[in-house]
Amino acid sequence: MRLLEVSEVNKAFGKRQILDNVSFGCKRGELFGLFGRNGSGKSTLLKATMGTLKVDSISLSIDRKAINPSEIIPQQKIGYLPQDTFLPKEMKVRDIIPLVFPKGEEQDKIFYSAGISAFDSKKVGKISAGQLKYLELLLLAHLPHPFLLLDEPFSMVEPHYIEKIKELLLSLKATKGLVITDHYYLDVLELADRSMVLKNGKLFGIENEQDLAAHDYLKAKKQ
């Protein structure tokens, strides 16, 4: 599976049109950066793509073949990293890994991943924000989903783990297409092969900080 296309997404909350005929795509091997100010509708767009939020209209296709949003999760087409953790806080990291990956050889890939041994004996609620995001991404990375939508993978994460997460994301491009939204815009700009900014319900292509300023995501620098 090489190409995810999401088109004609419309969503209004009450009278406010959050997504106004929005379209975007993501290829395997590509990291697509999605920018937008607080409340612009980025999470709404990701949830609509996952099929977890009902929208007024959406068309989805994978490799040019139409797919119903209700098939996205059962057919493991797209994986989603939500802003808030999806792992139970009271469980130890080493007990969660076998729950997600019943096969021994798959578990080993996680247990032997760089950095895991530093915290695998701790409870999820006791590890740092960076360790938690890294763990969540490692779990997603080893699932079969060809596309991943990542909602704020760098939020609250210390610089040491941001670098670890960036390395992991770059390595994932070999097998997956990635969509990332995060207000750590410099990190996203550095990683992204292509980026767009969501403003007033519409998406605009951007290439750099100047473009982000032109679309009012960043404050324009005084000359």
Ligand X SMILES: Nc1ncnc2c1ncn2[C@@H]1O[C@H](COP(=O)(O)OP(=O)(O)OP(=O)(O)O)[C@@H](O)[C@H]1O
User: Which of these segments, 33-41, 92-100, 109-117, 203-211, binds ligand X (CB under 6 A)?
Assistant: 33-41
CB of residue 36 to ligand X, shortest distance in Å: 5
Q: Does 44 bind ligand X (CB under 6 A)?
A: yes
What span, in angstroms and rounded, lies between the C-alpha atoms of 84 and 63? Answer: 30
CB of residue 96 to ligand X, shortest distance in Å: 26
CB of residue 62 to ligand X, shortest distance in Å: 23
Tokens of 66: 């139409």
Token pair 């419309």 is at which residue?
Answer: 10
Question: How many residues at the interface with ligand X, by CB under 6 A?
Answer: 10
Residues 6+ apart with CB under 8 A from 99: none
Phi, psi of 187 (to 5 degrees): -65, -40
Q: Does 39 bind ligand X (CB under 6 A)?
A: yes
Question: How many residues are given for the chain?
Answer: 223
User: Which of these segments, 24-32, 41-49, 61-69, 128-136, binds ligand X (CB under 6 A)?
Assistant: 41-49
Which residue number, 36 or 51, has a Cβ lying nearer to ligand X? Answer: 36
Q: Does 41 bind ligand X (CB under 6 A)?
A: yes
**Three-state SS for 20?**
strand
CB of residue 43 to ligand X, shortest distance in Å: 3
Q: Which of 13, 118, 143, 190 binds ligand X (CB under 6 A)?
A: 13
CB of residue 179 to ligand X, shortest distance in Å: 13
User: Which of these segments, 32-40, 100-108, 117-125, 135-143, binds ligand X (CB under 6 A)?
Assistant: 32-40
Q: Does 69 bind ligand X (CB under 6 A)?
A: no
With CA atoms as reference, report the closest residue to 153 among 145, 139, 144, 107: 139
Which segments of the chain does DSSP mark as H helices, in order? 42-50, 93-100, 104-111, 129-141, 159-172, 185-191, 209-214
Q: Which of 4, 9, 18, 22 binds ligand X (CB under 6 A)?
A: 18
* CB count in 10 Å sphere of residue 184: 15
CB of residue 203 to ligand X, shortest distance in Å: 12
Which residue number, 54 or 65, has a Cβ lying nearer to ligand X? Answer: 54
What span, in angstroms and rounded, lies between the C-alpha atoms of 149 and 79? Answer: 6
CB of residue 187 to ligand X, shortest distance in Å: 15
- How far CA 69 is from CA of 45, 63, 84, 167, 204, in Å, comes to 13, 15, 22, 31, 24
Binding residues vs ligand X (CB under 6 A):
13, 18, 36, 38-44
